[in-house]
């Protein structure tokens, strides 16, 4: 084999090696964590009253909790889950990294629902002492966290299940 042929063969090998490296780097970048930034909880409580005052493109939510505390959220559209907050709902809200709110309506026991709790419908991952929501919020498990009544196909991954919260925003049960 001549020097010219060896040179072309070596260039092809280097080109294939470079292509492999760039493919791996591109795959790694594509698989990088795309989860939302962690959100800090600024307020948890049961809603006693809600007032929304519009001001142009934004406005202010003023929420009074049943224990007398108040929470005001200023700014543009609020991202989050569930309906707008109503009297009797449990809300978890914050302003870091931007305004957000999760609304968990009260669910009362009946023939299909066995425990009274505030039901939050979110995806996430159950850990030993917490539930990490895909939304970017970490919830603590309650001291009375109940593992009974789970689907036999249960895994630590939560897909569209109802996460039962107590009035402190702690996870009591996952349905």
Residues 48 and 78 occupy one common structural domain:
yes
The pLDDT of residue 124 is above 80? yes
Residues 69 and 137 in one domain: yes
Each residue's pLDDT tens digit, 134-151: 989 999 999 988 776 555
- The answer to whether residue 37 sits within a structural domain is no
* DSSP, res 76: S
Residue partners of 85: CB distance under 8 A and separation at least 6? 47, 50, 61, 63, 91, 101, 103
Q: List, for residues 34-88, the tens digit of each pLDDT value.
A: 566 788 999 999 999 988 887 766 778 889 999 999 998 876 555 555 567 889 9
Q: Is the pTM of this model over 0.75?
A: no
**Residue indicated by tokens 């505390």:** 69
pLDDT at position 79: 59
Q: Quick: pLDDT tens for 86-108.
A: 899 999 999 888 888 899 999 88
The confidence score (pLDDT) of residue 24 equals 45
More confident residue, 49 or 26: 49
Q: Is 26 helix (H, G, I), strand (E, B) or coil?
A: helix
Shared-domain flag, residues 73 and 137: yes
Q: What is the pLDDT of residue 105?
A: 92
CA-angle at 169, arms to 168 and 171, nearest 5°: 115
Q: How many domains does the chain have?
A: 2
Tell me the residue range of the domain where 1 lies.
1-32
Q: Which residue has the tokens 């402190």?
A: 168
Q: Judge if 77 and 131 occupy the same domain.
A: yes
In angstroms, the CA 67 to CA 89 distance is 13
What is the predicted pLDDT for the residue at 48?
97
At 134, list the tokens: 């895909």
């Amino acid at each position: 084999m001549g020097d010219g042929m060896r040179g072309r063969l070596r260039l092809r090998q280097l080109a294939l090696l470079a292509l492999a490296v760039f493919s791996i780097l591109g795959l790694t970048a594509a698989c990088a964590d795309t989860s939302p930034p962690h959100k800090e909880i600024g307020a948890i409580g049961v809603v006693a009253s809600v007032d929304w005052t519009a001001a142009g493109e934004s406005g202010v939510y003023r929420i009074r909790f049943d224990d007398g505390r108040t929470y005001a959220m200023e700014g543009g559209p609020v991202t989050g889950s569930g309906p707008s907050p109503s009297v009797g709902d449990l809300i978890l809200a914050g302003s870091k990294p931007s305004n957000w709110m999760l609304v968990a309506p009260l669910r009362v026991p009946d023939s299909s629902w066995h425990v009274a709790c505030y039901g939050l419908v979110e995806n996430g991952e159950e850990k030993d002492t917490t539930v990490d929501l895909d939304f970017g919020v970490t919830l603590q498990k309650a001291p009375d966290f109940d593992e009974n009544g789970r689907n036999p196909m249960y895994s630590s991954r939560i897909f569209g299940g109802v996460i039962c919260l107590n009035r402190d925003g702690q996870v009591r049960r996952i349905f």
